[in-house]
Amino acid sequence: MTKIPFETVVARHGTAVLRVCRAVVGIHDAEDAWSETFLAALRAYPQLPENANLEAWLVTIAHRKAIDIIRGRQRQAHPVAEVPERPSTLGIPGATDADLHHAVTRLPTKQRQAVAYHYLGGLPYSEVAEVIGGSAEAARRAGSDGIAALRRHLAAPAENPRITTAAPAHPASRGARP
């Protein structure tokens, strides 16, 4: 039993981790979050125990990188008397996808993380709880409240006439690279 090539790790988990990053830090910062996650994972990979759960390990790293990115953003922000109108940094302005991503970013942090790690990262709530802290039951409640809030957002037909639903994301493989 030896470790699989890291390329296979990227092929198996890259899609799910990218979805998680887009939900947690937004479309704009997701590429940096993904890149930093996989670079950190590559660095630590030789020391990872062979029986480790790769998906949970990667989501944990992505979680930390997302926190770093969000903190960095808050440091850059400076208080102003009135918030100026400006284009969304979360995607194409006016697109329904960006609108939904905006709705995700407005969820309370724990809900957003629980939705991302459970529904997009594919982790069971017991593992989500290990990543974000608290009990599995609290993680389940946060995930379910979060998805309900997103549903309510989607249920406003005038705002979002084109949004459809898809089956839950499981880690999709891009297949072996040539």
Partner 1 sequence: MTQHIPSALTDLPVGLLDRLHTRLAADAASADLLDVAYRTLDSPVGPLLLAATPRGLLRVAFDSEDHDAVLAAIAAKVSPRILFAPERLDAAARELDEYFARTRTTFDLPLDHALSKGFRQTVQTYLPLIPYGHTETYAHVAARVGNPRAVRAVGTACATNPLPLVLPCHRVVRSDGSPGGYAGGPEAKTALIALEAA
- State the residues that interact with partner 1 by CB under 8 A: 2-7, 10, 14-15, 18-19, 22-23, 31, 34-35, 38-39, 42-43, 45-46, 96-97, 100-101, 104, 115, 118-120, 122, 147, 150, 154, 163-169, 174, 176-178
Provide, rounded to whole angstroms, the least separation between the CB of residue 20 and partner 1. 10
Alpha-carbon span 72 to 70, nearest angstrom: 5
Provide, rounded to whole angstroms, the least separation between the CB of residue 31 and partner 1. 6
What token pair was written down for 55? 């998906």
What token pair was written down for 78? 């400076």
Residue 105 in contact with residue 112, Cβ under 8 Å?
Answer: yes
What token pair was written down for 23? 């939900």
Cβ-based neighbour number of residue 12 at 10 Å: 19
Provide, rounded to whole angstroms, the least separation between the CB of residue 39 and partner 1. 5
Question: DSSP character for 52?
Answer: -
Residue closer to partner 1 (CB basis): 40 or 70: 40
Residue closer to partner 1 (CB basis): 77 or 167: 167
Residue 17 in contact with residue 30, Cβ under 8 Å?
Answer: no
Residue closer to partner 1 (CB basis): 61 or 115: 115
Residue closer to partner 1 (CB basis): 76 or 164: 164
User: Containing H/E element for 28?
Assistant: helix 27-44
Provide, rounded to whole angstroms, the least separation between the CB of residue 120 and partner 1. 6
